[in-house]
Amino acid sequence: MVAGTLAAGSPAIGAGAEATPSGGGTSEYLVFYAPGGEAAALDAIRAGGGTAGAVDGKLGYVLARGPRTGFAERLGTSPSIAGVTADRRIGSATALTSQDAAAPAERTAPSTALSAAGTAGGSAAEAQAVSAGATVAGHGDPLSGRQWDMKMIGATAGGSYAKARGTKKVLVGIIDTGVDGRHPDIAPNFNRALSRNFVVDHPKDSKGKTLDGPCEHKGCKDPADEDDEGHGTHVASTIGSPLNGIGVAGVAPGVSLVNIRAGTDSGFFFLKPVLDALTYAGDAGIDVVNMSFFVDPWTFNCAHNPSDSRAEQLQQAGIITGVQRALDYARARGVTLITALGNGSTDLGEPTTDKDSPGYPAGSERERTIDNSCVNVPAESRGVISVSAVGPSKRKAWYSDYGTEQTDLSAPGGDPSDAGTSLKGTAREILAAAPASALRKQKLIDASGKPVGSSVVRDCHRGKCAYYQYLSGTSMASPHAAGVAAILVARFGKPGKGGLLLSPAKVEKLLYATATHTGCPSSGSTTYTVSEETHVCEGSSAKNGFYGHGLVDAERAATTKG
């Protein structure tokens, strides 16, 4: 038995294991105990036929090994137990491919996009500047003409960049699949010293199927400056790609980007790395964290759903409890928490059916009836700022979740189906940095390095080339809000541990105050119909289910008096 506090990243029984809580043998579990219930939880673990490992006193859980059958149910009879979750895959990133991001009725239609040398909505002179890799006067970096998203929120050379770009003292953590710290449009702002990787890649899943692919490094643990999936690099770029004459610029091009990796190469997340990442953010003095992922295998986590088994209820209770404790830990230490709302095209305030859970192992999904007591984590967890996505016309993206209780802010996330704009196809999505290795693995660039298709752009400058990718999703929306939060911390924060310190409550207040109030569509309470499903917007222009407190505004954040 190991007692005391488990430091983030310390080795422990079953950390990151691909356990399956069914069948014979044993499995690893995270056993969350009620406040003051550590001793009773250890007794319950032993009485249930299990063995206790490390104890995390910060978040209140025990790493334990126990039988795959009946162990969780036996623990659940103890009042000291708040949840029991197998230490296994629990999440996935919330980015959509170009094809996925199109509305259902439009997914088979071919998309029209600009060539790699063109500039969306720009002039011939701007297109020439793009190919030359030069900064276009008044337009930021060479590919800034394609960044309709930055124009929408005033993050431009003529807007927020001229007034506030953030500072290296502001530490923005990206809890994601990793960050390519060597990408030319990431490297100048990448904080290698503080970056961490809390996951071990898994070549195959529990059924022997390819998962993360071959291990590239000893021990299957990538360095903290790699991103084999690409999702985290795209997010980091939107937040803080520098103004450096290459490619694009982020919302806050002067901040420090810290990779706090909790997702595997395949884009999925384990519970313990997520908990470790949030704990590390609090301990390391990170100012703002972006969480563009959702916790799985349950799209909606229900602690008391009668259609679930007792073991499933305990598993979901463990996810809700564990993530909430980690969020509380980080927020209490000054971390502002920004999260993607989700891509389920669902009113999170009135969910009725969950057809996608449990999402792992593959094929385990079943349809179950749910209600508003079931929550999407972390989007509906306490203390987080949840962001919905809009397309280039400012219409709520068709895929974006929404809800009067759940939506706090909105931001550009891209929407290829948004017809209310002159942009076409992929140009309606969000362009940001992408690792060449990930694009090559996805066959989006060929052996010579030439982009394949319109979703990837190559920008070359002084003999070096960098890649950028169009993506859509609430994953792409939340980093815009994180960038605006970083601007506010830079302007109003005081020196603190690691970086600057501005209370999350103050950042939240300023984000809401500087957002542009956006009312429900004038055509009525509905915005459009998606696959025979009508999305209903409820609330006032000051706060509603589509836009929350409004559309984030970098220029207003750069000029507000606080």
Q: Which residues have a catalytic role annotated? A: 176, 231, 475
Rounded Cα distance between 39 and 137, Å, is: 65
At position 437, the amino acid (one-letter code) is S
| 147, amino acid identity | Q
- C-alpha torsion angle, residues 404, 373, 376, 512 (rounded to 10): 30
What span, in angstroms and rounded, lies between the C-alpha atoms of 225 and 192? 7
The neighbouring-strand residues paired with 72 are: none
Alpha helix (H) residue ranges in 386-501:
436-441, 474-492
Residue carrying structure tokens 């920008």 = 459
Give the CA distances from residue 508 to residues 166, 447, 450, 459, in Å, rounded to whole numbers and listed in that order. 17, 46, 43, 36
- Left, alpha or beta for 373 (phi > 0: left; psi -120 to 50: alpha)? alpha
112 strand-pairing partners: none
Cis link prior to 110 (omega < 30° from 0)? no
Token pair listed for 329: 């830990």
Phi, psi dihedrals of residue 261, rounded to the nearest 5°? -75, 130
- Report d(CA 415, CA 389) in Å as an integer: 9
Q: Are 427 and 113 in contact (CB under 8 A)?
A: yes
Nearest CA to 217 out of 445, 439, 437 is that of 437
Report the phi/psi class of residue 462: left, alpha or beta, with left for phi > 0 and alpha for psi in -120 to 50: left
Q: Are the C-beta atoms of 236 and 188 separated by less than 8 Å?
A: no
In whole angstroms, how large is the CA radius of gyration of the chain?
Answer: 23
> Distances in Å between the alpha carbon of 52 and those of 28, 33, 267, 324?
10, 13, 30, 23
Going by C-alpha positions, the residue among 61, 69, 64, 73 that lies closest to residue 45 is: 64
Phi-psi region of 230 (alpha: psi -120 to 50; beta: other; left: phi over 0): left
Quick one: the chain helix, strand, coil %, rounded to 5? 25, 25, 50
Measured distance CA(203)–CA(220) in Å, rounded: 8
Q: Measuring CA to CA, how many Å separate 386 from each of 61, 119, 174, 294, 371?
A: 26, 31, 15, 12, 20
- How far is residue 244's CA from residue 237's CA, in Å, rounded to a whole number? 13
Angle between helices 474-492 and 504-514 (to 10 degrees): 110
